[in-house]
Amino acid sequence: MPNDRPNSWDRRAEAHTLYGFTDLPTIAARGTVVVERGEGPYIVDTEGRRYLDANSGLWNMVAGFDNPVLAKAASDQYAKLGGYHAFFGRMSDQTVMLSEKLVELSPFDRGRVFYTNSGSEANDTLVKMLWFLAGAEGQPQRRKIITRTGGYHGVTAVSASMTGKPYNSVFGLPMPGFIHVGCPHYWRFGQEGETEAQFTTRLAQELEATILAEGPDTIAAFVAEPVMGAGGVIPPSAGYFQAIQPILKRHGIPLISDEVICGFGRTGAMWGCETYDFVPDAIIASKALTAGYFPMGAVILGPELSDRIHTASEAIEEFPHGFTASGHPVGCAIALASIGLIEGGLGENVRALTPAFEAGLARLAEHPNIGEWRGKGLMGALEAVQDKATKTPFAGNLSVSERIANACTDHGLICRPLGQSIVLCPPFICTEAHLEEMFGKLEDALKQVFAEVA
């Protein structure tokens, strides 16, 4: 229940803060959880309640909520150079070192990095880069961006147009020229009698038909998450990227890997594109880049796009785009420390925990009201269904996933409702004991809610 004490934290939050992506009936009924401090993978609220955060904050706090290495990196850099920009031929030494490191980590033998403050801004920047390039190379009509239904790419006007979610219609989005093709979720969208291989072939054929219908010379890029994150943790159908990449190459369309969630180890490899064995033309990064300790995003350009954009910029003497905090020295110092932690053991811990994580998901998926478990690395989802045999979802007005998430909160566990799914993406610092706690509390919540609605 909401805290009705005068001047309580949740009353103050309600009075002065506009909530984003928040179920307002839940706030009205339960109040706001105001977080005071972190303890490893746990958060502690202002009432002293402790929660295991199986969401890693928002996919990003992979090193936990009070990591001393990241705190020291920030403190040391603040004492040395507390802020600077990356305009006018000036940038910090930390920015230079991070760019070198990101290109080294990338699947590219060379390239360039452009910094933003978020993944949304990175996707927005990428589109501006492609539009700039099209005009500079005498193809001003090449402006259309293809993404997938259910994919998530951000909240700016451009990145929200890329996002294949129906809620963006309240903003009058997507803008013209943003095209959404089929979601590669075989369990949900495969046709009766269709094998997974046939499903993949059908999606590839749909993509090519869309390209031909729109005109190949009007399309600037195809942008895809290796695993759809905010779409409900949807790995691609088998062979998906191997089926679509030749089509894109044939029509001269860049393939951009949106690694905002997948990047820096979440899928078990450094990049999701490595997990699914494809090399994109550019990578969009954020979230685990700084382990959530500083707002930062990056566009990592492969050699071809890097060369072409550099040539186009030289022709007009600059690339006319940037942000005040792009390449912030403190953010870059934290990012270098975060990457050091991932390379120094956290990435290996993801791989070591993955079998136990998958086994826990599979065990809970035996419940008659869980239709599917899915995931890759330390990102997974359980899809709630009213009828398992027919894959029939619960009625929307039952708010089943929201109720499960609320019940989890009552048990001291933070997880995320997405559509009819419950999403788990625990921090990389977790142990098997943390996973056991997570699945135990989630199981209790599932039993409670399904007993109420099934």
User: What pLDDT shows up at residue 1?
Assistant: 60
User: What pLDDT shows up at residue 313?
Assistant: 97
Instruction: Compute how many other C-beta atoms are within 10 angstroms of the C-beta atom of residue 320.
Output: 9
User: What pLDDT shows up at residue 381?
Assistant: 98
Among 11, 77, 85, 91, residue whose Cα is nearest residue 47: 11
Task: Report the C-alpha gap between 129 and 298 in whole angstroms.
Answer: 13
The answer to whether 166 and 341 have CB atoms below 8 angstroms apart is: no
The CATH code belonging to domain 33-66+347-453 is 3.90.1150.10
Which region among 29-33, 58-62, 177-181, 430-434 has the lowest average model confidence (pLDDT)?
Answer: 29-33
Q: Where are the domains of the chain?
A: 33-66+347-453, 84-327
Q: What residues contact residue 131 under an 8 Å CB cut-off, 6+ apart?
A: 143, 220
Task: Report the C-alpha gap between 439 and 356 in whole angstroms.
Answer: 10
CA distances from 330 to 73, 121, 263 (A): 8, 19, 21
Q: What is the domain class of 84-327 according to CATH?
A: alpha beta
pLDDT tens for each residue of 251-285: 999 999 999 999 999 999 999 999 999 999 999 99
User: What pLDDT shows up at residue 449?
Assistant: 97
Confidence class for position 58, pLDDT limits 50, 70, 90: very high
Residues in the chain: 454
Write the DSSP string, 385-453.
-SBTTTTBPPPGGG-HHHHHHHHHHHTTEE-EEETTEEEE---TT--HHHHHHHHHHHHHHHHHHHHHH
Among 43, 82, 54, residue whose Cα is nearest residue 331: 82
The answer to whether 295 and 117 have CB atoms below 8 angstroms apart is: yes
The separation between CA 379 and the C-alpha centre of its own chain, rounded to angstroms, equals: 10
CA distances from 139 to 102, 144, 281 (A): 30, 12, 19
Percent of the chain exceeding pLDDT 90 equals: 96
CA distances from 283 to 21, 105, 121, 142, 382 (A): 26, 11, 13, 20, 28
CA distances from 410 to 54, 251, 369, 445 (A): 14, 52, 21, 9
3 has a pLDDT exceeding 90: no
User: Please, how many CA atoms are within 13 Å of residue 309, restricted to the half-sphere of its CB?
Assistant: 25
Q: Which two tokens stand for residue 391?
A: 């894959």
User: Mean per-residue pLDDT for 309-319?
Assistant: 97
389 has a pLDDT exceeding 90: yes
Q: Is the dihedral of CA 326, 328, 331, 332 positive or negative?
A: positive
User: What pLDDT shows up at residue 7?
Assistant: 85
User: What pLDDT shows up at residue 232?
Assistant: 96
User: What pLDDT shows up at residue 148?
Assistant: 98
4 has a pLDDT exceeding 80: no
The overall average pLDDT reported for the chain is: 97
